Each structure stands twice: as C-alpha cells, then as structure tokens.
Amino acid sequence: MADYYPLLSRAVAGLPDNTPETRRAIYDRARVVLLQQLRAVDPPLSEADIEREQIALDDVIARIENEYAPPVYEDPLEPRFDQAAGTGAGYDDDQDPYAGASPYAGEVARYGPGDYQPAEPPDMPGDHGAAPRAEDERPARPRLSPTRSGRDGGERRRTLIVAGVLALAIGAIAGTALWLQQEKPAPAPDQAQTEPDEPAREGETKFNDRIGGPPPEQTPPAQPQQQATPPGSAVAVSQRAILYEETGDANQAPRATGGRAVWRLDTVNAGEGQPLETVVRAEVSVPEAGFTLHLTFRRNTDATLPASHTVEMTFEETDPDRAVREVGVPQLKTDEGARGTPLAGLPVPVTPNFFLVGLSNLASDVERNTELLRSRSWMDIPLRYASGRRAVLAFEKGLSGEQALEAALRAWAGQQ
C-alpha cells in the first residue's frame, strides 16, 4: 500500500488559495486519478485491493483535514454532560478518555498513530525491466506486465508496481498545485511541417502506417517569426511542427496541418529555500487548428516520486472536439518520416488538458532516455481527443531545441 500522506499534504500546502473548497477539489481529483490508475494496472487488481487503496487515501484525506480544522475551546464555566453516563455535575472526568481535550480529540485518535501505518517509500521494481513501451497499446494506457516467477514473487512485484504507479498518480496531484502557482507560459511564435506516428494497435495500424509512409498533403503554416530573447537563453527560433489527425474515413490519409515550435531554456522556483531549477520549455502551436501545446521538461527533485524527470503537457484548443483526453509517452525519432521510439515512462492525467509523464528512474532507462533526447531530431506526442479521434503532434528540435536540452541535461547531471 502506497503512502499518500507526504505527496497529498504537500499538494494541499502548495495551494495558492488554501480553502476547504480548493482542498476538496484536490481530494476529488486525487480520488479520480487513483481509481483510473488502479483500473489500468495489468494484471488487473482485485476489487478488494482497489477498495483498500481507496480507503487508505480517504484516511489520509481525513488526517489532513483534521490538521486544518480550527481549534475549538470549551467554556470552562459550561457544565460537561456525558450521554452514556446520563449525569451532569456528578460525572467523573476520570472515566472520559478525552476529558479536557478538544472535541476533535476523538476524531484525531481515530486517524492517529494506532490506525495510520506509514508505508515504505514507493520504489519502481528493480527486476521489472524497462518501463512500459507505448507500442501496441492505446496512448495513455501503457501495460505493466511483470514477469511471473512463482506466486510469491509475482505478488511482490505487482505490489511494487502498484506502489510506483500510485505514487506517480498522487505526485501528479502535487504537480497540479505547483502548476497553479506558476505563471502560464505566454503564447510563442512557430513554423512549418512534419510527420509522426503513434503506438500501433490492431485496428489502428492504417493510421500509423499512413503517418510512417509518404507525407500527406499539408497546410502551409504562417510565416515564421522571431521571438524576443528570454533571459539566459539563445534567440528563440521557430522549428517545424505538424498535427496529424484521423479523418474518420479509414481509406483516407490523415489530415496534416502545419504549425511551429519554439524551444527555450528557463528557470523556475523549486520551492522555499531551494535554488532556481533549470527547465526546458517547448511551445507548439497549430494556428489553423486552434491547437497549442505547452511542454515542460524538468528534473524530478521529489524523492518520494519514482521518476528521474517529469514532462508536463498543457493543451489549449478553440474546438471542443480537440480537447485532449489521453496522451502517450513522448516518442523520439531521427526525422519526420521515421517511426518514433517511446521514452521509458508513464503518463498520468491530472486535470482536463493537463498531463504529467514520469520518466523511469531505473539506471538503464535513464541512460536510454538521455540518449534518445540527445540524439533524435524529432518528437511525437500521441493523442486521443475527447471525441475519440486519434492524433499525433510532431515537432522538430532544431538547433534551439538541441541546445536547450543539452544545457539542461548538463545542469541536471551537475545537481545530482
């Protein structure tokens, strides 16, 4: 069972407007994300396991709310009455275990040390192998299939997997609170075209093959513009981007709409008393489709989150049919016509149009992910809209993206 208290309490503490209503919104979202991740585990969890995790989360929520409950002071002149004893002045306070305490003492005891057992910090299983790949699966539903070597070993591995998945899911809630405190990235200029592909699955092969084949006819983007130089980074130059979308006709090639991508190196506040943290931002816009992605790569500094780095993705759209319901792990490729290789990681929905991808912290996966980020020139983001249509947003790193990622990777390596 995962320990939700450290992550959830930090998410609540980080709320810019910490009121019962905003806390309730975080709790509700945590419950939704938790249930989604529990249902997505493969092999499936039993209903008893799912219920146990939900109860554990509710206990943590009650514990946090008790911490925020205002103190209540009794009137020393007001007589105490005990319903069980049915007496007033003659009632012996020595018989009441909570005599003289706050009226909330009983509730605190209910969720106190006797019931709350902190779990070991969740860790990704060392014998699980590389993190799940996006091939042959729906974008936002990677399979977690541990090798079964006996009943006890399989149960232990699955417990570790669930702990890691749940920690990442609740970590996404903490990411929401941090994101709410940061200023939203300003829209940036962009440029031209490309092509992608997304993980193949039976019934989805045609869409992927068309993307991996000859480029479909594209809508030319607006003329690229130059953006003002942000502090501490190079001139922001637009790189090529393109949005591929299903048309609804199985015999028709995907629709391709040109866009632009701007990469830049940035620094953000990592928390009180912490030095500024280096991040990489990419802003990808497809004006003709009214579609924009704000993407942020950052090093994970949360020891309780089983991830080496995180990728935050925020989407904006003018067409409700293009609201993003699911995303896949980012895929890297050598050129616009190649098939992408997914990074080792796990995507988690946080709020509508906001997703967090945790990259695996296994040493072999970290090395592989770093090599892909350094050596590949294009990135694909597999998507599924709220309408059910699939799409792929592909964009080029270009010189500005390569320089930003290389500078960040060097900075992160020096901070480990």
For the chain, the domain total comes to 2
Residue 253 vs residue 177, higher pLDDT: 253
For residue 309, pLDDT beyond 60: yes
Could you tell me the pLDDT band of residue 141, with boundaries at 50, 70 and 90? very low
CB atoms within 10 A of CB 224: 16
H/E element, 376: none
- Pairing type for strands 378-385 and 390-396 reads antiparallel
- Structural domain range at position 306: 188-415
pLDDT in tens, 53-80: 888 888 989 998 888 887 665 555 555 5
Looking at the fold, whether 109 and 208 belong to one and the same domain comes out as: no
Instruction: Give the Cβ contact number of residue 188 at 10 Å.
Output: 23
Average pLDDT of every residue of the chain: 73
Q: Is the pLDDT of residue 164 over 50?
A: yes
- The pLDDT of residue 209: 52
State whether 239 and 129 are in the same domain. Answer: no
CA atoms within 13 A on the CB side of 350: 26
Q: Given this model, what pLDDT does residue 188 score?
A: 46
Instruction: Assess whether pLDDT exceeds 80 at residue 23.
Output: yes
Other Cβ atoms within 10 Å of 15 Cβ, number: 16
Going along 328-377, which residue ranges are E strands? Answer: 331-333, 341-342, 345-351, 354-359
Is 95 found in the same domain as 166? yes
Looking at the structure, do residues 143 and 31 belong to the same domain, yes or no?
yes
Rounded to two decimals, the pTM is: 0.55
Do 197 and 72 belong together in one domain? no
The 10s digit of each residue's pLDDT in 345-380 is 999 888 888 999 999 999 999 999 999 999 999 999
More confident residue, 290 or 139: 290
Residue 314 CA: distances (Å) to CA of 20, 311, 355? 26, 10, 7
Give yes or no: residues 220 and 256 share one domain. Answer: yes
pLDDT in tens, 319-348: 999 999 999 999 999 999 899 999 999 998
Domain finish residue from 180, 198, 229: 180
Between 103-107, 260-264, 327-331, the lowest mean confidence (pLDDT) is in 103-107
Q: What angle do CA 236, 240, 243 make, to 5 degrees?
A: 125
Same structural domain, 243 and 122: no
Using CA atoms, how far residue 61 sits from 8, 10, 200, 237, in Å, is 8, 12, 39, 46
**Given a cut of 70, is residue 286 above it in pLDDT?**
yes
Query: Do 272 and 367 belong to one domain?
Result: yes
Cβ atoms 293, 284 nearer than 8 A: yes
Count Cβ atoms below 10 Å from residue 358 Cβ, excluding itself: 28
Do 219 and 124 lie in one domain? The reply is no
Strands 341-342 and 291-299: unpaired
Rounded Cα gap, residues 260 and 225, in angstroms? 10
**Could you read off the pLDDT of 183-211 as tens digits, one per residue?**
444 444 444 444 444 444 444 554 555 45
Identify the domain boundary among 180, 208, 226. 180
Distance CA 252, CA 377 (A): 28
Q: Between these two residues, 173 and 255, which has the higher pLDDT value?
A: 255
Mean pLDDT score, 203-230: 49
Same domain, 140 and 201: no
Asked if 294 contacts 281 with a C-beta cutoff of 8 angstroms, the reply is yes
